[in-house]
């Protein structure tokens, strides 16, 4: 029963999360995390992929592509991850929300 509840909860959470991140991507209300430098592997922060491409990947993702975990150092902030294969390419997208903005940590192939 607990497993079923957890599954339903995760799916519902994912839908809300997906809607919010897509809204931020469409309105351009996004930031890219930095650790004092520009992550050369972050394809979105370096302009090697477009917002539209990330919208496409996240838009087509499913609950099974998604996972969520607490931020490693800040209580109360969830880190969201979508990992999926899209048009032959493996994508890894990680972000958190600081209402109403999305802060992307990773957008990698």
Which residues in this chain contact other proteins in the complex, by CB under 8 A? 27-41, 44-48, 51, 71, 73-74, 77, 96, 98, 101, 103
The residue among 65 and 102 lying less far from other proteins, judged by its C-beta, is: 102
Q: Which residues contact 49 (CB under 8 A, 6 or more apart)?
A: 43, 107
Confirm if 32 and 103 have CB atoms less than 8 A apart: yes
Nearer to other proteins, 62 or 71 (CB): 71
- What is the smallest separation between the CB atom of 74 and other proteins, expressed in angstroms? 5
Smallest separation (angstroms) from other proteins to the CB of 81: 16
| Opening angle at CA 80, ends 19 and 34, nearest 5 | 110
Q: What is the DSSP letter of 35?
A: S
């Amino acid at each position: 029963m607990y497993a079923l509840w957890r599954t339903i909860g995760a799916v519902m959470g994912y839908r809300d999360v997906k809607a919010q991140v897509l809204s931020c991507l469409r309105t351009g209300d996004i930031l890219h995390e930095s650790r004092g430098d520009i992550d050369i592997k972050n394809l979105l922060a370096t302009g090697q992929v477009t917002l539209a491409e990330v919208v496409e990947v996240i838009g087509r993702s499913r609950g099974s592509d998604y996972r969520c975990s607490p931020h490693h150092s800040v209580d109360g902030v969830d880190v969201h991850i979508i990992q999926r294969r899209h048009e032959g390419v493996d994508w890894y997208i990680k972000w958190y929300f600081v209402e109403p903005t999305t802060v992307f940590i990773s957008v990698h192939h």
